[in-house]
A and B are shown apart, each in its own frame.
Chain A
Amino acid sequence: MAQPRDRSIATRVGVDVGGTFTDLVLERRDGDEARIVVHKVPSTPSDQSIGVVRGVTEICRIAGIAPDEITLLFHGTTVATNMVIERRGAEVGMITTRGFRDILHMARHKRPHNFSLQFDVPWQSAPLVKRRNRIAVTERLMPPDGRIETPLDEDEVRAAAELFAKRKLDAVVIAFLFSFLNNAHEQRAKEIVQEVMPDAYVCASSDVVNVIREYERFSTVAMNAYIGPRTASYLQQLEGRLREAGVHAPVRIMQSNGGISTVENSIRRPVGLLLSGPAGGVIGARTTGEACGRPNVITIDIGGTSADISVIRDGQLTIKNPRDTQVALLPVLVPMLDIDAIGAGGGSIAYVDAGGAFRVGPRSAGADPGPACYGQGGTEPTVTDAQVALGRLDPDQFLGGDLKIDAALARQSIKTHIADPLGLSVTDAALGILRIVNNNMALAINAASVAKGVDPRQFTLMAFGGAGPLHGVALGEIIAAKDVISPLHPGITAAIGLLETQLQYEYTRSVLTVLSRAGADEYAMLEDSFAQMIAEGAAQLESDGIATDKRHYQRVIECRYVGQGFELRARLPDGPVTAASLDAVIADFYEVHKQVYGHAFDDQLVEAITLRVIATGATVPLQLPAIPRGGRTDPAEARSFVRETVFDDGQVLPTPRYARGKLLADDIVRGPAIITQHNSTTIVPPGYTARVLSHGDITISR
């Protein structure tokens, strides 16, 4: 695919903030020449922007450029998510329909645990909007057409707003029943509140997510208001600090849906940022997959306490079923990449429970005290300790020698807590820890793939995050993946992904139309609705300065069989809406249904529930530089030393170490081998062969 030649100099920086580290990548492009610099600094959890600015300043220095040469800065942040998890959001007021004050309190009335009497109900014990601040007003809209049965009592709205003002609330949401059919009452109430509280963060449910299902819509708008004021101040503070540091480039924020957005739009709709953190990694994995000629990739991002799993099919990111989009058990009806998290990572603790069962995780030693081998007070064995005990992580080389680890402590903790109680050798216990944790991860991968109609045999497994390449081959074997990729920079895949995103905005309308019965009126209505949404998208992209030829609009109809409760996405072909194009939608829906559930019905009516327009503005893709060609087999120049290493089948083999930085394109490394780099280690078991590709990524297969 020919890219337009760009003669200008451009410098783009991606900054991904994680729990422990802030990862950075800088791309300097001068005409056809592109250069990449990567960097890592400690995160600053109390104010993420401090670490961001420090990292940006440092990476500029490393790259030898001035901060004001940066032309665009991309940012993935966990600010919004942490605010929800830690419940540090705004004090929110809510104006809602009389008779329905407690929709947020009742939720879907299902409790979070089946077999428990003492369970917590987070939406009651730590609500986004306290009951005292939920005020019901007189108004009533009626289905199925949104006609007004009872007009809005504006005086009641004003009185509520005045009370909220007196209570000094930061934010107010308006959420009326059936507002997805008619937003007039919500909009009028919003105007009144804004008059009374000009400085408050005010939003209406139909503005934030204009779809059917009251609890989910109300929860989404409440979440938006809850995180709105503080997300706004974070982003504004970040922009301010960057300017002080000499960075004048526009800042773009990673969204949950895999696109990026402007700061202004992120402030208006912070609810779109809740998966900003993990989304970058999935995009980075897609980029790497494409660079490796592998459009079908299962990604697993393995960190210290958890692993994030996602599936990329034909180069397309997977969007989560709206039924499942939630944060901290609270539903958020915004498109999110389908990323499943599991509590398994390098810090996961292995133990024998009271009934004698051998378990690993989800409890984690985290960064503090960390694994036993860190010698920082951790005594319980972790997955990392097992790797050390098996000789797969070299104590003197850990983080390039930056962190000293003690293999004896690792072995001792495994002996005390696992090997002795179960009557196993330390080696068998360590192998057991890995087998159990790998199995837990593999089951989670299966739930994200096989259970959703994805056949892993057609997919490449890409394991990243610092610990990813230690597990890659073992996981690939369990799930029967085609092969495994260890990306060039496993530890900063998410930051790289940020440079690969495009601007993306989504617009929705609820319609509820049976497609197979649609006639001229419905065609016109659908055309009209889509045209309105596309116009909204065009206006947004125009204001972002995206040229007309770089804009793209995808039209989606979210459908279900009449009577079903959950929708799936089907694509509407370009061109006018006709019987033929709706037939194509039905056919697409049928295929998706079959893939997701294993079955589809050809004799059932299909109903459209939600129309969606995904408006994107193309940005320049990242150009990863090629590395020099080596073409060697087991290159001695890259080999450092040989050590005994235990592999999953229990074999103890003298295993050479290769320095990843010295491997060149088309080099081949035959297992057993261990490939090391500053913050990551790739295992090539006996019988496997690693091949270095043109950009430095490695594929591993039998």
Chain B
Amino acid sequence: MTETVDPITLQVIGGALHSIAEQMGNVLYRMSYSSIIRESQDLGAGLFDRDFNTLAESDSTPMHIGSLPGYLRGIEKSIPLDAWKPGDVVIHNHPYYGASHSPDIAIVMPVFNDGELVGFSANTAHHVDIGAATPGLIIDVPDVYSEGMLLNGLKLYDEGRRNETLWRYIRENTRVPSLVMGDLAAQVASAELGVRRFQELLAQYGTATVIQATRQLMDYSEAMLRREIAKIPDGDYTADGFLDDDGRNRGKHLPVKVTVRVRGDGVEVDLTGSSPQVPTAFNVPFEGSTKVACYFAFRALLLDTYTNTDPIPANEGSFRPVKVTAPPGCIFNPIMPAAAEARFSQIQRVADCIIKALAPVLPDRCTAGNAATLSFAAYSGVRPSGDYWVFLEVNEAAMGGRPNSDGPDTVEELMRNTRNNPIEDLGMHLPLICDRYEVRDDVMPGAGKFRGGMGVVKSQRFIGAGSITHEADRHDDVPWGIFGGHPGHGGRVEVYNAADRSKVGQHPAKFSGLLTNPGDVMSYLSPCGGGYGNPIERDPAKVLDDVLDGFIDPPHAHDVYGVVLKPVDDGYGWAVDLPATEKRRAGMS
């Protein structure tokens, strides 16, 4: 038995673990090659105990945070705990053995102290191409085998000896080996750093003390979340929505149904009633993705790092109060061999529906409907040399209005938080040129006391021939307004040739391997968030700001917000006519 670690040592060890995870994430994104890792930071890194509990995770993309324990449990099926040796490096991406989805490859190294396996140093990163049916991304494919390389707990290094055959196999089964191999090397460097630093910590304090401290830190994070859950009245809270389609069967909406059962200081998210699994890649791996979305929602709602200044350690404790249920064969818990690569838009909707379900009892912590989607575009082509180029772009969307502030415009919402790629850097290195990157101006924001965020419009032009696969959703099910706020807007995809703007093709949110000609442009217009609260309660000064900033026009200010503007000759053009506004608003309420 180990004694309780004193509160001071606990802070010291907790700080050290957090710092190690941060450094692991740092090395990974700074060393890596592909823009999806280095710019977008689509990665996660952390330390784990031998029971696969998360001890610390880097503060990177939420989707990755909480997914690694699933990988570790999956790897155990092929490498039992007693088969690990110092110097082993294992690679894993099998979606039916815990992976988040197949392009998110994990690198795992064991951590030994005094000859005893103490835990793991591991990271995941999204790889540009793993040799799937279409470059970069896949939608309309028959099964998991179309996803490309399935690496199920294989040793890249065996007791420090490099497995050259496996490295060669990977090199020859991706379209972009120069990126993928460099990124894997960065992942190995990051995991090695974690091993080294974790071992130093164990040497300093002893395994028993460190492990005991991690248990207390997990209990602490768990207790902090349970305290907040306990404040929510017991009950079943539901919300639903639907997804556009599965990327093959057009027009067939797919229901998403979320029931949140609050009981005391615990909560269950039940996805029963959601769509059955689909015949394309538009399914969600349960362990590595569905569960992670639910963990995220409760942390963001209840332990919001902006409104709570006490940092809560990012560890297993925050997962424990949340139970996740999805019946096998459901889109959120597919059965092998269903493909399950394109899963992000669905889990965004899970998180958003949890927020919607709890909004009536958490009016000060929720949001109106968020865009809750993800536009993932894979642009590709073959260079004159015969080499492929593949570029994965994440397009941002917007959030719904909030209790005290507008929904942010053009931002990474919910489960994602990547960085965009500088368009100048892309222009210098790829046969692709950005023609437009702005706030959407074809619609006005979801009105409310606090308005919804505006989405983005991004137009990419092909210089040569190529192809696009696009994974997104939410053209049809518009983000909702809440507490009197108005709904936002759905997304759109337009394809046209720069030489002839008169012929604009409207495309569904998901399509696979669309061939492009030189000058072809894809414009993505992301969904916009819903409004929070009654628009006539909006501060007239903010309504004027939105007019001057070109988000809304004066008739909209008058009709929807009840704000009457008068022309002024100051270069800006408009001022609020307060008496007229009060009169108009009195007539509206």
A: residues with CB less than 8 A from B are: 99-103, 105-106, 108-111, 113-121, 124-125, 130-132, 142-144, 163-164, 166-168, 177-178, 180, 212-216, 323, 353-359, 363, 422, 431-432, 435-436, 439-440, 443, 446-447, 451, 512, 561, 563-566, 596-599, 601, 604
Q: What chain B residues lie within 8 Å of A353 (beta carbons)?
A: 310
Task: Provide a sorted-by-A list of 13 A–B residue pairs whose CB atoms are within 8 angstroms.
Answer: A99-B435, A102-B439, A111-B417, A114-B59, A115-B303, A115-B304, A115-B305, A121-B408, A130-B549, A132-B549, A163-B571, A357-B10, A564-B182
Pairwise interchain contact B33-A561, C-beta atoms closer than 8 A: yes
**A563-B182, A565-B38 are known contacts; what are 12 more A-B pairs with Cβ within 8 Å?**
A99-B436, A113-B304, A115-B305, A117-B366, A118-B307, A118-B403, A130-B549, A132-B550, A354-B310, A446-B19, A563-B178, A564-B31
Q: Which chain B residues numbered 5 to 25 have a C-beta less than 8 Å away from chain A?
A: 7-8, 10-12, 15-16, 19, 22-23
Q: How far is the CB of A431 from chain B (nearest CB, A)?
A: 8
Assembly CA distance A179 to B548 (angstroms): 28
Interchain CB contact (< 8 A) of A604 among B182, B193, B551: B182
Interchain CB contact (< 8 A) of B428 among A102, A119, A512: A512
Pairwise interchain contact A357-B11, C-beta atoms closer than 8 A: yes
B189 on interface, CB distance cutoff 8 Å: yes
Interchain CB contact (< 8 A) of B425 among A101, A102, A213: A213
Interchain CB contact (< 8 A) of A102 among B19, B193, B438: B438
Pairwise interchain contact A110-B424, C-beta atoms closer than 8 A: no
Q: What chain A residues lie within 8 Å of B244 (beta carbons)?
A: none
Interchain CB contact (< 8 A) of B419 among A108, A115, A357, A446: A108
Q: What is the chain A residue whose CB lies nearest that of B31?
A: A597
Interchain CB contact (< 8 A) of A121 among B30, B61, B411, B436: B411
Q: How far is the CB of A109 from chain B (nearest CB, A)?
A: 4
Pairwise interchain contact B405-A118, C-beta atoms closer than 8 A: yes
Pairwise interchain contact B410-A116, C-beta atoms closer than 8 A: no
Q: What is the chain A residue whose CB lies nearest that of B435?
A: A99
Interchain CB contact (< 8 A) of B355 among A115, A117, A142: A117
Q: How far is the CB of A560 from chain B (nearest CB, A)?
A: 10
Pairwise interchain contact B404-A105, C-beta atoms closer than 8 A: no
Given A114-B59, A118-B306, A118-B403: A599 and B422 interface contact (C-beta under 8 Å) = no
Assembly CA distance A212 to B26 (angstroms): 22
What 0/1 pattern do residues 259 to 273 of B give for CB contact below 8 A with A?
Answer: 000000000000000
Q: How far is the CB of A519 from chain B (nearest CB, A)?
A: 19
Q: What chain B residues lie within 8 Å of A164 (beta carbons)?
A: 571
Q: How far is the CB of A146 from chain B (nearest CB, A)?
A: 11
What 0/1 pattern do residues 417 to 432 of B give for CB contact below 8 A with A?
Answer: 1111011110110000
Pairwise interchain contact B178-A116, C-beta atoms closer than 8 A: no
Pairwise interchain contact A443-B220, C-beta atoms closer than 8 A: no
Q: What chain A residues lie within 8 Å of B355 (beta carbons)?
A: 117
B27 on interface, CB distance cutoff 8 Å: yes
Q: What chain B residues lie within 8 Å of A132 (beta carbons)?
A: 548-550, 572
Q: What is the chain B residue whose CB lies nearest that of A178?
A: B424
Pairwise interchain contact B428-A115, C-beta atoms closer than 8 A: no
Of all A-B residue pairs in the complex, the 10 with the closest CB atoms, nearest first, are A166-B571, A167-B571, A143-B427, A131-B549, A565-B38, A99-B436, A109-B396, A358-B7, A432-B8, A116-B306
Pairwise interchain contact B30-A124, C-beta atoms closer than 8 A: no
Pairwise interchain contact B428-A144, C-beta atoms closer than 8 A: yes
Q: What is the chain A residue whose CB lies nearest that of B11?
A: A436
Given A121-B411, A599-B189: A109 and B15 interface contact (C-beta under 8 Å) = no
Pairwise interchain contact A447-B23, C-beta atoms closer than 8 A: yes
Interface-central residue, B22, B34, B39, B438, by most chain A CB under 10 Å: B438
Given A108-B419, A109-B420: A451 and B23 interface contact (C-beta under 8 Å) = yes
Q: How far is the CB of B572 from chain A (nearest CB, A)?
A: 6
Interchain CB contact (< 8 A) of A99 among B39, B220, B307, B438: B438
What 0/1 pattern do residues 32 to 72 of B give for CB contact below 8 A with A?
Answer: 11110011010000000000000000011110010000000
B442 on interface, CB distance cutoff 8 Å: no
Interchain CB contact (< 8 A) of B12 among A355, A436, A563: A436
Pairwise interchain contact A119-B306, C-beta atoms closer than 8 A: yes
What 0/1 pattern do residues 209 to 230 of B give for CB contact below 8 A with A?
Answer: 0000000000010011001000
Given A106-B410, A565-B38: A99 and B437 interface contact (C-beta under 8 Å) = yes
Q: How far is the CB of B104 from chain A (nearest CB, A)?
A: 17
Pairwise interchain contact B422-A213, C-beta atoms closer than 8 A: yes
Given A102-B438, A119-B306: A110 and B549 interface contact (C-beta under 8 Å) = no
Assembly CA distance A180 to B437 (angstroms): 19
Size of the B side of the interface (Cβ < 8 Å), in residues, is 90
Q: How far is the CB of B198 from chain A (nearest CB, A)?
A: 14
Assembly CA distance A348 to B428 (angstroms): 48
Pairwise interchain contact B8-A435, C-beta atoms closer than 8 A: yes
Given A131-B550, A451-B23, A597-B189: A167 and B16 interface contact (C-beta under 8 Å) = no
Q: What is the chain A residue whose CB lies nearest that of B437?
A: A100
Pairwise interchain contact A118-B402, C-beta atoms closer than 8 A: yes
Q: Which of B75-83, B249-257, B293-301, B474-482 contacts A (4 or more CB under 8 A)?
A: B293-301
B: residues with CB less than 8 A from A are: 7-8, 10-12, 15-16, 19, 22-23, 26-27, 30-35, 38-39, 41, 59-62, 65, 178-179, 182, 185-186, 189, 192-193, 220, 223-224, 227, 296, 299-301, 303-307, 309-310, 355, 365-367, 396, 399, 402-405, 408-413, 417-420, 422-425, 427-428, 433, 435-439, 456, 459, 548-551, 570-572
Assembly CA distance A81 to B438 (angstroms): 29
Interchain CB contact (< 8 A) of B19 among A110, A115, A212, A443: A443
Interface-central residue, B8, B26, B60, B296, by most chain A CB under 10 Å: B8
Q: What chain A residues lie within 8 Å of B309 (beta carbons)?
A: 363
Q: What chain B residues lie within 8 Å of A131 (beta carbons)?
A: 439, 549-551
Pairwise interchain contact B189-A354, C-beta atoms closer than 8 A: no
Q: What chain B residues lie within 8 Å of A216 (beta carbons)?
A: 422
Assembly CA distance A130 to B545 (angstroms): 10
Interchain CB contact (< 8 A) of B456 among A106, A117, A144: A106
Interchain CB contact (< 8 A) of A106 among B11, B296, B307, B439: B439
Q: How far is the CB of B423 from chain A (nearest CB, A)?
A: 6
Pairwise interchain contact B7-A167, C-beta atoms closer than 8 A: no
Q: What chain A residues lie within 8 Å of B10 (beta carbons)?
A: 357-358
Pairwise interchain contact B408-A124, C-beta atoms closer than 8 A: yes
Interchain CB contact (< 8 A) of A422 among B7, B224, B299, B422: B7
Q: How far is the CB of A434 from chain B (nearest CB, A)?
A: 10
Q: What chain A residues lie within 8 Å of B59 (beta carbons)?
A: 114
Q: What chain B residues lie within 8 Å of A124 (beta carbons)?
A: 408-409
Assembly CA distance A109 to B42 (angstroms): 13
Pairwise interchain contact B572-A563, C-beta atoms closer than 8 A: no
Pairwise interchain contact A358-B8, C-beta atoms closer than 8 A: yes
Assembly CA distance A121 to B407 (angstroms): 10
Q: What chain A residues lie within 8 Å of B436 (beta carbons)?
A: 99-100
Q: How far is the CB of A491 from chain B (nearest CB, A)?
A: 28
Q: How far is the CB of A456 from chain B (nearest CB, A)?
A: 13
Pairwise interchain contact B412-A109, C-beta atoms closer than 8 A: yes
Given A111-B411, A512-B428, A561-B33: A214 and B16 interface contact (C-beta under 8 Å) = no
Assembly CA distance A591 to B443 (angstroms): 52
Q: What chain B residues lie within 8 Å of A213 (beta carbons)?
A: 422, 424-425
Q: What chain A residues lie within 8 Å of B34 (beta carbons)?
A: 563
Pairwise interchain contact A443-B15, C-beta atoms closer than 8 A: yes
Pairwise interchain contact A118-B365, C-beta atoms closer than 8 A: yes
Q: What chain A residues lie within 8 Å of B224 (beta carbons)?
A: 354-355
Q: How far is the CB of B391 from chain A (nearest CB, A)?
A: 12
Q: How far is the CB of B546 from chain A (nearest CB, A)?
A: 9
Pairwise interchain contact B305-A113, C-beta atoms closer than 8 A: yes
Assembly CA distance A432 to B570 (angstroms): 60
Q: What chain B residues lie within 8 Å of A120 (beta carbons)?
A: 306, 405
Q: What chain B residues lie within 8 Å of A354 (beta carbons)?
A: 224, 227, 310
Q: What is the chain B residue whose CB lies nearest that of A432?
A: B8
Q: What chain A residues lie within 8 Å of B301 (beta carbons)?
A: 117
Q: What is the chain A residue whose CB lies nearest that of B59?
A: A114
Pairwise interchain contact B402-A435, C-beta atoms closer than 8 A: no
Q: What chain A residues lie within 8 Å of B367 (beta carbons)?
A: 117
Given A117-B366, A167-B572: A110 and B307 interface contact (C-beta under 8 Å) = no
